[in-house]
Amino acid sequence: MLIAVNTRLLIKNRIDGTGWFIIETLKRITRDHPEHDFLFLFDRQFSKDFIFSDNITARIIRPQARHPFLWYWWFEFSLTLALKKLKPDIFISPDGFLPLSIKIPCIPVIHDLNFFHRPNDLPRIVRNYYNKFFPKFAEKATRIITVSEYSRKDIAKCYGIDPVIIDVVYNGANEIFKPALEIEKKETKKRFTSGKDYFVYAGSLHPRKNISSLLQAFEDFKKETGSDMKLMLAGETLFTTPGLKKKLKHLDYRNDIILTGKVSYEDMRLIISSAMAMTFVSHYEGFGIPILESMQCGIPVIASDITSIPEVAGNAVLYINPSNPETITSAMKEIYTDAKLRENLIEKGFVQSRKFSWDKTAKALWESIEKVLRGEKLKEREKRR
């Protein structure tokens, strides 16, 4: 069968969480299923690195779709026309978007509904588009894939979708994330924090990541302990983070806060694995890959006790209330002063992280695809009769 995939988010050196989901699952699925042909659909020139096996054909469909108006045009006109000509048996969309007028079976991956629960975190035109069209995408879908049981229940409840057609396909974490050597830790601290120990946050500086509360908690931690610890924010700003610059300006310990901007994957591995702890205090997560990355790197994790995070983190993190900075400060002090707690969390983290892998993700994704493919084969047999 011919399986078409929306791969427009595969842009070399600009891979985000959804992009890694596409790469890590499809390079396994295309390799393991040579009996099928795959059609990768890009909206711009692509790297040959994304053509993982000989059973992949790639097509560029214009225009580049990076704005709500162009999203609509690309999916409803350009992509729809292309799919009608190419006649694939199934269409898979790892970013959740679907062309609403096509007749073939569709599987969107709806990672979470952050835009539904926290609309003000996004520019108005983006949140309006998401909240208008994602219910339509969910209704259009033959099956839906999401990345946590929390999101499965959330999609079913918010969109009135039968949970039977929603499959949970957990994320994994890149194998590059592993403990650093002591010499690597020393050099990383020398590069970024003048040799000092530090807490780290890894990811985009998005409003729902609760960076303002993290900054306040760190400020209070410094005042209460007199520690020379630093706080490193390793990631780039997406959309707007209201008050972040203003917040930084008025902190007494702003010189102890390091903003790295976007870093390479190898640098991110070194930054995480050299930290005293990960501080992942989001207001909302559909999964939370940095939790797994930190566990694989052998550092303790401070994490929010809401949405999907307890499902991913299990008993291997120190939980906080993201709406109460005092609980974040308290957790920082516990991590800072209690070496046995750190060792215990690290040990539990290694165990918990082994429950997830991209191999398991790819296997679960293929099982969902097969459910649809089997249904299509049955339909063909019925027609022949």
List the chain pLDDT tens, one digit each, 385 residues: 999 999 999 999 888 889 999 999 999 999 999 999 999 999 999 999 999 999 999 999 999 998 999 999 999 999 999 999 999 999 999 999 999 999 999 999 999 999 999 999 999 999 999 999 999 999 999 999 999 999 999 999 999 999 999 999 999 999 999 999 999 999 999 999 999 999 999 998 989 999 999 999 999 999 999 999 999 999 887 655 556 777 888 899 999 999 999 899 899 999 999 999 999 999 999 999 999 999 999 999 999 999 999 999 999 999 999 999 999 999 999 999 999 999 999 999 999 999 999 999 999 999 999 999 988 555 554 555 4
State the span(s) of the chain assigned CATH 3.40.50.2000: 2-172+358-375, 182-353
Q: So what's the pLDDT on residue 227? A: 97
* pLDDT at residue number 88: 97
Judge: domain 182-353, CATH 3.40.50.2000. yes
For 2-172+358-375, give the CATH class: alpha beta
Q: What does the pLDDT read at residue 125?
A: 97
Position 124 scores a pLDDT of 95
For 86, list phi and psi in degrees, rounded to 5.
Answer: -85, -25
Q: Which residue has the tokens 């010189």?
A: 255
Instruction: Determine contact, residues 361/169, Cβ cutoff 8 Å.
Output: yes
State the CB neighbour count (10 A cutoff) for residue 226. Answer: 8
What is the structure's pLDDT at 241? Answer: 58
Q: What is the pLDDT of residue 16?
A: 87
> Which ranges in the chain belong to alpha helices (H)?
17-32, 68-73, 80-86, 114-117, 124-140, 149-159, 182-193, 211-225, 244-249, 265-273, 289-297, 309-313, 325-337, 339-353, 358-384
Residue owning tokens 């002063």: 337
What are the b/e assignments for 59-79, b being 16+ CB within 10 Å? eebeeebeebeebeebbbebb
pLDDT value of position 382: 53
- Quick one: pLDDT at residue 246? 78
CA 336 vs CA 26, 44, 185, 299, 371: distances in Å = 41, 47, 17, 12, 49
Q: Rg for the chain (alpha carbons), in Å?
A: 22
Contact 318, 296 (CB under 8 A): no
Widest Cα–Cα separation across the chain: 79
Q: What is the pLDDT of residue 380?
A: 53
Cβ–Cβ under 8 Å, residues 231 and 211: no
CA distance linking residue 307 with residue 173, whole number of Å: 19
* pTM for this entry: 0.94
Query: Is residue 226 left, alpha or beta, with left meaning phi > 0 and alpha meaning psi from -120 to 50?
Result: left
Q: How far apart are CA 130 and CA 138, in angstroms?
A: 12
